[in-house]
Amino acid sequence: MAYTSDDIRNIALIGHGASGKTTLTEALLLQTGRIGSAGSVEKGNTVTDFDPLEKEHQHSLDLAVVNFDHAGSHINLI
C-alpha cells in the first residue's frame, strides 16, 4: 500500500535504560497485529533486540525501526 506524507507518523521512543521502551514496542506490535505474541527482554525473544549481545545484556544496543498501521496512519516507531 502506498502512503502519502499526511498518512505517515514517525515516533521515537526515548528513555533511560530499563524504562520499558522495548516492552512498549512489543505491546504496540501485538495490539496492531504485527506479531502473534509479545516477546520478553528477559527471554531474549523481542523483535527489536536480535543481536546476541543485546540478548546477553538484556538491553538494546542499536537503534531499531518497526512499523505498523493504526487508525488510517502508517506508524514508523524508532
CA distance 39 to 59: 13
Nearest to 46 by CA among 30, 68, 67, 70: 30
pTM summary value: 0.91
Provide the pLDDT for residue 36.
98
Q: pLDDT 10s digit of each residue in the chain, 78 long?
A: 789 999 999 999 999 999 999 999 999 999 999 999 999 999 999 999 999 999 999 989 999 999 999 999 999 999
Provide the pLDDT for residue 14.
97
Provide the pLDDT for residue 2.
87
Q: For the CA atoms of 40, 45, 51, 52, what is the dihedral angle to 10 degrees?
A: 100
* Residue that has been written with the C-alpha cell 527489536 in this structure: 48
